[in-house]
Amino acid sequence: MRGSAAPGVRAELAASVDPGAVPAVVLINPNTSTDTTAMMTAIARRTLGPLVRGVTVARGPRMLTDPAALPAAAPEVVAAGRRALASGTCRALLVAAFGDPGLAELRALSLASARGPVPVVGIGEAALLEAAASGRSFGIATTTPLLAGAVVERVAALGLSDRFTGLRLTEGDPQALSADPESLRESLARAVQECVVRDGARAVVIGGGPLGEAAESLRARFETPVIAPIPAACRRLAKLLDPWREGNTPR
C-alpha cells in the first residue's frame, strides 16, 4: 500500500477540512526530535496523503530508549492530543512511538470530547495486530534492549503471546545507530533474519517509530513480510475513518 492512500480516504479528508485549516490527521511524536517528527510525518503522508500534521512533544528525551521514558512521555503526548482535539479540525490522532505512550488516555479524552470523538491509533498496537492477523506467528526486531521487557508486556497485553516468536535486538548504542542510517539498516536486517531463520517468524515487526525509514527499506529485502509500524498504523486508521463517518465507535 506504500505510495497510495486507502480508497476514498484522501478525498474524504480533503473534503472535511477547510483550505486554511490545519491538516486532519495529527501525528504525535513522543520524543523531542523535530527531525524524527518530519520523517515519520512524511511516511504517514505516503499512505494518508498530505493532510497529516506532525506534532513534537514539548518536553522529554530525544529518543525513548528505557522503561522510564515511556510513562514520562505519556503526559506530553496527552497534552499534545488535548490541544489537537480542542482545535476542532482534528479528524484522527496517531501516537508515533512503539510503546504507545498515552494511547489509552487519548482514547478516553477523544470519547469525552465536546467536539465529538475521533479515531486514535498507536503505531505499536497497529503493527502488532497486523503482524498477528489470521493467527500468524511474528517476531520483533528493534534497537532498544532496555525496552525489551516493556515490548514483551505490550504483546501480552494485546493477547498475542501465543503467536510471538521472540524479540531480536541490534548491537550497539541505539542513538548511535539512529545517527548512521546504513548501519541501522544492516543491523536491523540481521535482526530480521534471526527472527525468521532462528525463531520461525512468519512476519517481523520493526519496533520503533524513529526506525521508520529503515523499516520501509527492509520490506523489499525479505520474502517474509516486514511490518513497518507507521504505515501499519495508517492502514488501521484508514479503516477506522470510513466506519467512523457512519457513527461507529473507533478503538
The 10s digit of each residue's pLDDT in 35-49 is 999 999 999 999 998
The 10s digit of each residue's pLDDT in 161-194 is 999 999 999 988 888 888 899 999 999 999 999 9
Which of the pair, 4 or 130, is modelled with greater confidence? 130
Residue 162 CB neighbours (<10 A): 10
pLDDT > 70 fraction of the chain, expressed in percent and rounded: 87
Burial of 131 (0-12, 13-18, 19+ CB in 10 A): buried
**pLDDT at residue 9 above 90?**
no
Q: Which residues are paired to 29 by β-bridges? A: 56
Residue 131 binned pLDDT confidence (cut-offs 50, 70, 90) = very high
With beta carbons less than 8 A apart as the criterion, state whether 108 and 81 touch.
no
Average pLDDT in the chain: 87
Count helices and strands in the chain by DSSP H and E runs: 10, 8
With beta carbons less than 8 A apart as the criterion, state whether 36 and 209 touch.
yes
Residue 18 binned pLDDT confidence (cut-offs 50, 70, 90) = very low
Residue 118 binned pLDDT confidence (cut-offs 50, 70, 90) = very high
Q: In terms of Cα–Cα distance, which of 214, 26, 51 is closest to 206?
A: 214
Q: What are phi and psi of 127, to 5 degrees?
A: -65, -40
DSSP one-letter string for 185-237: HHHHHHHHHHHHHTT--SSEEE--GGGHHHHHHHGGG-SS-EE-HHHHHHHHH
pLDDT at 20: 38
Predicted TM-score of the model (pTM): 0.86
pLDDT at 174: 85
Please give the torsion angle defined by the CA atoms of residues 216, 241, 33 and 138, in that order, rounded to the nearest 10 degrees.
Answer: -40
Q: In terms of Cα–Cα distance, which of 85, 111, 94 is closest to 52?
A: 94
Gap between the Cα atoms of 203 and 222, Å rounded: 10
With beta carbons less than 8 A apart as the criterion, state whether 143 and 169 touch.
yes
Q: In terms of Cα–Cα distance, which of 135, 136, 133 is closest to 195?
A: 136
**pLDDT at residue 208 above 70?**
yes
Q: Is 231 helix (H, G, I), strand (E, B) or coil?
A: helix
The number of residues in the chain equals: 251
With beta carbons less than 8 A apart as the criterion, state whether 228 and 216 touch.
yes
Kindly give the residue spans of alpha helices, DSSP state H, lying in 50-115. 69-87, 103-112
Q: In terms of Cα–Cα distance, which of 88, 26, 48 is closest to 242?
A: 48
